[in-house]
Structure 1
Amino acid sequence: MSMNEITPGEMANTAPPSPAFEVAVLLGRGMPLGEQRRTLDEIGVALVNEGLAERSEIAFAELSDPALSVVLLHLRDEGVRSVVVVPVIIPFDRNLKGWIGRWLSRWSAEEAGAMRVVLADPLDGIADQLSPVRAVIERARLGTDVREAIKPLKIKAGASRIPDVSRVALVCLGPRCAQAGAAVIYDQLRRRFGPHKPDDLQENEVLCLTTNCQGPCNFAPLVGIQPDNIWYGNLTPEALEGIADRHLAQGGEPVSPWAFQPGERLKKTDGALVEPDLPLAAAEAGAIRIRQAFVRKAMVEDNALAGFMEITNLGTFDDMLLAIECCFSARIAIHAAGGHDDILAGEGLPLPLAAGSTIRLQPGRLHLMLLDIPDVPDPGSTVDLVLTFRHAGSMPMTCHVHAPS
C-alpha cells in the first residue's frame, strides 16, 4: 500500500457524523418585516453542514411568522421523530431565554406526542455566529427531551385576566422615536406608574407599553394614549411631567400643544404644514390600473428616489410590467427592502401581474428605485414616469415627490 492510500477504516474515521436530529428549528426573536430570515437561513445551513440535523426550519418567538408552535405542529404532523430548537437571541434576553424553555416544555408535554424535542443552548452573541458553534452542536447531541429537562411553564392566575386599567400609554420605540429620546420618555412613565405585571395591576392605573414604529415619525418621540385616541408628539421629559399629572393620573383633558387627534398634521410655527398635502398619482391603460403613486428620497441609497404605488390587473388575462422609464434616471429597479448594495439596472423586471391580482409597491417591502440621479428633486416637485406593460402598453404618469418619512 502506498503512503497516499487511505484504508476503509480511515475513511470511516474521517466521515462526518450522522445527523443527531431530523430537523433543527432556528428560533429568532422576530422583527416586523422579518429581516432575520436570511441570517437564520445561513445559520441553519451551517448547522446542517456540521451534522446537527438533516434539515433546518425557521420560527419566531414574536412579531414575525411562522410562530414556533405552528412549525412544531407541522413537523409533528409530518411524522418527524426528533427536533432540536436552537434559539438565536441577539441581543441576549435572559427572560426570553427562560420563557422559551418553560413554554417548550409545556407544549411538548401537551402536543409533541412521540416527537422528541431538545432545546439547544442559545446563540446569543456575535462570536457564536462567527464560529462553527460546534460546542452548541455537541451539547445538543447529548441533550435530554425538553419534557424531562425543564419544568413546564405555569399559567398564573393574573395571566387569565384582562387588565382593568383606565388608560394604556403606547410609547413608540421605532427608529426615529428611539433617536429622539423615546427610551427616556418610557423610563419616565414607568417610574411614575410602575412596570406592571398583569396580576399586579389595580383599577384606574395606567399601563405603559412599548411599540414598534407607529407611523407619524415627524412627531417623534410619540406616545399614543388609549382609549382616549390621543397622541402626544415632540415630547420632552418636562412636558411629560405635566401630561402625567393632568391627563393620565387625574383623567383630565389632553394637554396642549403636545396633544394631537387622529387626522391632525404637524405644523410649523407659522401654521404651514411640515409635510404639505400632495396628491397621489393615478393612471389607467387597458386592464391595468395604478393608484396611490408617489416618490420620495430613498432612505438608504444616496442620489436615489424610492417609488410606491398600487398596480391592479382588472382583466381576465395575465400581464407583465416590462420596463419603467424616467427622464433623469438611467438605472431603475423593482427592489425588496433590506439593503441596496449592487442594485442592477432593471432588477426585478419583468414583473408578472396575474389576472385579477394587485401588487403593492410600498415602504419597507417591494418598491421602485430610481438610481444615479444627479440632482434629487425637492419635495413638492414632480417626476414623470412611463410604465410599459406587455398587453396594456405604455402608461405615462406624473408623481409628486413627497418628503422623506
Structure 2
Amino acid sequence: MSVRVLVGMSVTDVDRRQDLHAWAGELGASLAFLQMGGPSLSAELTRLADSGAETITLAGVSLGPLAPGHSWLRRIAAHWWRERSGKRPEIQVATGLATTRAELPDAFAETRPITGTEPGLTTPAWERVPGHVRQVLICRGPRCTAKGSEETARAVILGAMEAGLGDDDLLITHTGCLFPCNQAPVLSVQPDDVWYGNVEAAAARVIVRDHLADGRPVEAYRLPR
C-alpha cells in the first residue's frame, strides 16, 4: 500500500489547516504538521505504518514566514525511521517545498528516499541558547490568529530586516496563548518585560522601529501590568 502525506512546515500552515485539508483531500493524501499542530509528522507516520503502509511519500508545504528549511522534513522523517521498531515502510521525500497548491503535484512526483544516513536532530551548533539582546514573543493562539497575528509576525520580521537587526539583536519566537486575549494580537518583548496589545501590522512596524531598534517602548500599544 502506497500513501501520501502533505506536511505543513510553518506556523502559518497550522493557521491554514482548512485549506491544507482540502488540498490533501484533492491529492488523496493525509495531513500532518512539523510544528505546533496535530497530528505531528511522527504520529502520522506511526499511524500509517501500523495500518500497513509499505511506501509513504511526503511533500512539505510552506505558506508563511519563519518556516524551517526543507532539510528538516528529511531530518524528522529519518529520525522516525531510525527509531521505528518493527516493520519500517519505505519513505520518499519531495526534493523541495511547495509554496502554492499548484506546485504540490510536482512536489509529490519528484522525491528521494530516506536512507537512514541523514543528519540527526542534534548538532553542536544547537547546544546553547543563541545570543540575542531581546526576544520577541508573538502570540499565535486562536484569538490572535483570528485577529491577524500572521501579518503581525510578518511585519516584525520584515521590519527587523529593514532596521538592520540581526540574529545577535533579536530572537523572534512564535508562541501559543500569551494572554490577555481581549487585546489580540499580543506580543511581548523580553527581558524588557513589556507587553503590547492590538498589534496589527502597522503597529508592529512602529514597535520594531522605536522599541526594538532604539530601545524606546511604545506607550500607545503597551499593556498595563
- Class of the TM-score when normalised by the shorter of the 2 chains: 0.5 to 0.7
Identity %: 21
The 3-state SS of whatever aligns with 1:27 is strand
- Residue 256 of structure 1 pairs with residue 224 of structure 2: no
- Residue 24 of structure 1 pairs with residue 4 of structure 2: yes
> Per-residue deviation at 1:41?
4.1
> Per-residue deviation at 1:225?
1.8
- Residue 85 of structure 1 pairs with residue 48 of structure 2: no
> Per-residue deviation at 1:68?
0.4
Q: Please say if residues 176 and 217 of structure 1, whose CA atoms lie closer than 8 Å, have aligned partners that are also in contact.
A: no
Q: Kindly tell me: are residues 33 and 125 of structure 1, through their superposed partners in 2, closer, same or farther at Cα, counting changes over 3 Å?
A: closer
Instruction: Give 5+ residue unaligned stretches, structure 1.
Output: 1-20, 46-55, 248-253, 263-405
- Residue 116 of structure 1 pairs with residue 83 of structure 2: no
Trace 1:176-325 onto structure 2 (pairs within 5 A): 176=148, 183-190=154-161, 194-196=165-167, 206-210=170-174, 223-233=187-197, 235=203, 237=205, 240-244=208-212, 245-246=214-215, 256-262=219-225
Give the aligned CA root-mean-square deviation in angstroms: 4.2
Q: Please say if residues 65 and 154 of structure 2, whose CA atoms lie closer than 8 Å, have aligned partners that are also in contact.
A: no
- Select 1:104's aligned residue among 77, 88, 91: 77
The 3-state SS of whatever aligns with 2:75 is helix
- Residue 125 of structure 1 pairs with residue 100 of structure 2: yes
> Per-residue deviation at 1:106?
3.8
Q: How many angstroms apart in 2 are the aligned matches of 1:43 and 1:161?
A: 43
Q: How many angstroms apart in 2 are the aligned matches of 1:206 and 1:136?
A: 34
- Select 1:146's aligned residue among 94, 108, 114: 114
| Cα displacement string for residues 62-101 of structure 1 (whole angstroms, at most 9, x for unaligned residues) | 2310000111123334453322223344469995323212
The 3-state SS of whatever aligns with 2:122 is coil
Q: Please say if residues 92 and 124 of structure 1, whose CA atoms lie closer than 8 Å, have aligned partners that are also in contact.
A: no
Letter in 2 for 1:87: G
Higher relative contact order (CA 8 A, sep 6+): 2
Q: Which protein is bigger by CA-based radius of gyration?
A: 1
Count, aligned residues: 210
Q: Kindly tell me: are residues 128 and 172 of structure 1, through their superposed partners in 2, closer, same or farther at Cα, counting changes over 3 Å?
A: same
Q: Kindly tell me: are residues 215 and 79 of structure 1, through their superposed partners in 2, closer, same or farther at Cα, counting changes over 3 Å?
A: same
Corresponding position of 2:48: 75
Q: Kindly tell me: are residues 243 and 178 of structure 1, through their superposed partners in 2, closer, same or farther at Cα, counting changes over 3 Å?
A: same
Q: Please say if residues 8 and 61 of structure 2, whose CA atoms lie closer than 8 Å, have aligned partners that are also in contact.
A: yes
Q: How many angstroms apart in 1 are the aligned matches of 2:40 and 2:46?
A: 10
Q: How many angstroms apart in 2 are the aligned matches of 1:223 and 1:195?
A: 19
The answer to which structure has the higher helix fraction is 2
> Per-residue deviation at 1:164?
6.1
Query: TM-score if structure 2 supplies the norm length?
Result: 0.65
Corresponding position of 2:127: 160
Q: Kindly tell me: are residues 100 and 79 of structure 1, through their superposed partners in 2, closer, same or farther at Cα, counting changes over 3 Å?
A: same
The 3-state SS of whatever aligns with 1:83 is strand
Q: How many angstroms apart in 2 are the aligned matches of 1:164 and 1:212?
A: 23
Q: Please say if residues 6 and 58 of structure 2, whose CA atoms lie closer than 8 Å, have aligned partners that are also in contact.
A: yes
Trace 1:309-348 onto structure 2 (pairs within 5 A): none
Letter in 2 for 1:60: F
Instruction: Give 5+ residue unaligned stretches, structure 2.
Output: none
Letter in 1 for 2:100: G
Q: Please say if residues 155 and 204 of structure 2, whose CA atoms lie closer than 8 Å, have aligned partners that are also in contact.
A: no
Q: How many angstroms apart in 1 are the aligned matches of 2:133 and 2:122?
A: 25
> Per-residue deviation at 1:152?
3.0
Q: How many angstroms apart in 1 are the aligned matches of 2:188 and 2:80?
A: 35
Moved more, 78-87 or 120-129: 120-129
Query: TM-score if structure 1 supplies the norm length?
Result: 0.41
Q: Kindly tell me: are residues 167 and 93 of structure 1, through their superposed partners in 2, closer, same or farther at Cα, counting changes over 3 Å?
A: closer
The 3-state SS of whatever aligns with 2:70 is helix
